[in-house]
Structure 1
Amino acid sequence: MLRIVLAVMLLWIPLSLSSCDKAYIATMEKMGYAKRDILSSRVKSARDAQEDAKQEIQTTLEQFGKVVSYEGGDLEDTYKKLNGELETSEDSAEAVKKRIQDVESVADALFSEWEQELGQYSSADLRRKSQAKLTQTKSRYKEMLGAMKRAEQRIEPVLKPLRDQVLYLKHNLNARALAAIKGELVKVDAQVDQLVKDMNRSIAEADKFIQSMEKESD
């Protein structure tokens, strides 16, 4: 129940890498939500944002394919659909970037606090155990974050040529222009395939991290 309530609150309260986010985290802790719970929820949000972006970009590519393979009908309407899909993909890409920043913000706070608390132990044995757990958690986190960032960094190279082609088509909606950019579809298609693979790996790493965090909380 705690996780459900926390997840809902994270969807409705805006987050940022600023003093506002620090204040938000402090408020959540006063309400009984630990930083590790907030981190787990934000990782879920980042994972879901990547899944959404992956699907939106694939849909945009499909629409691009329909435009360059135009065989009659309302070309203007087809172009508008492509432009709309591209704008949605742009929004999804920005959401991915923002969610990853949110993850980093609370993770930095969690690990900083954890490291400071190590000096408060009077028991050397408990300190070693806590240090070992911190090291293990940070290692899993870095692996997951690395996968997320690698996937996120592939988004712009995919969107950039799509953005250029959509802009070009805006004033060149004719068969000659479509034939001229048809070769670009093959290049972008290969980039999207790699992006999807990276995103799937990132999503899998996020799931592993979430499961490990929840297992430790049980």
Structure 2
Amino acid sequence: MGKKTAIIPGWLVLVAILWVPFFGGCSTAYYGAMEKVGIHKRDILVDRVEDARDAQSEAQEQFKSALEQFGAVVQIENTDLKKAYDKLNAEYEDSEKAANKVSERIDKVESVADDLFEEWEDELKLYKSADLRRSSQRKLQKTKTRYREMLASMHRAEKSMAPVLRTFRDNVLFLKHNLNAQAIGSLRSEFSTLKGEIDGLIKNMNEAIKTSNKFIADIKQ
């Protein structure tokens, strides 16, 4: 009989993932557990970049929804002001959650990338072949360059969420404190400002998503 090919059981991968919360801030233990089931820092980085990209895509949709709701409220005559406030406040809270999720995902990308590059630098010293070392070093520098481009793009998108949230929050608070037709009139004048900020945000997020996809494709080569 021939030797059976070693296959990593799916349940073992699941067990490693379920144990992740118990490692807390101990990244060494976390990486060790994941490597035991064949998941390395490079794989984790790709996974986290994908998570950050998806969070940005979700945030785009949420901010679009918030803008649509804002526009609907200010354009309809005889709006029920209490319902209008409740809707806009819910959209603001959902937008804030989406923004926080994007920031959290970016932080996780940075954490594993720093660890991956540090490990890679250390392992360059282990090469006996100078040619292989140089080849790996070139690959590392290329990966770092792509990573920095992607991260800068992510942070631009992240920063562009702040003014949108501030404008949205100000308008929601104003409506809360002035539940009258005059308040709706004031909000109408703010709509173009909010739209411009959200259009800029969506443009930055599209660029971040594009650079994320390029980084993922490059690192998988």
2:139 matches 1:128: no
2:116 matches 1:110: yes
Aligned to 2:203: 197
The answer to whether the 8 Å contact 1:51/1:203 transfers is: yes
Instruction: Give the whole-Å Cα distance in 2 for the aligned partners of 1:104 and 1:111.
Output: 11
2:211 matches 1:168: no
Which residue of the other structure, out of 77, 81, 84, is the alignment partner of 2:87?
81
SS in 2 for 1:154: helix
Aligned positions, number: 213
Amino acid at match of 2:146: R
2:55 matches 1:63: no
Cα gap change, 1:10 to 1:163, in 2 (>3 Å): farther
SS in 1 for 2:39: coil
CA deviation after TM superposition for structure 1 residue 85, in Å: 1.1
Mapping of 1:88-103 within 5 angstroms?
Answer: 88-103=94-109
Greater shift in the superposed pair: 103-112 or 79-88 = 79-88
CA deviation after TM superposition for structure 1 residue 30, in Å: 2.2
The answer to whether the 8 Å contact 1:15/1:21 transfers is: no
Aligned to 1:211: 217
Instruction: Give the whole-Å Cα distance in 2 for the aligned partners of 1:108 and 1:47.
Output: 18
The answer to whether the 8 Å contact 1:15/1:102 transfers is: no
SS in 2 for 1:49: helix
The answer to whether the 8 Å contact 1:49/1:96 transfers is: yes
Amino acid at match of 2:209: I
TM-score (norm 2): 0.88
Instruction: Give the whole-Å Cα distance in 2 for the aligned partners of 1:80 and 1:191.
Output: 22
- Structure 1: gaps of 5 or more residues: none
Cα gap change, 1:77 to 1:157, in 2 (>3 Å): same
Aligned to 2:3: none
Instruction: Give the whole-Å Cα distance in 1 for the aligned partners of 2:167 and 2:115.
Output: 38
Cα gap change, 1:12 to 1:51, in 2 (>3 Å): farther
Aligned to 2:187: 181
Aligned to 2:4: none
TM-score (norm 1): 0.89
Amino acid at match of 2:99: A
Amino acid at match of 2:83: D
SS in 2 for 1:44: helix
The answer to whether the 8 Å contact 2:157/2:205 transfers is: yes
SS in 2 for 1:173: coil
CA deviation after TM superposition for structure 1 residue 212, in Å: 1.6
Aligned to 1:150: 156
CA deviation after TM superposition for structure 1 residue 172, in Å: 1.2
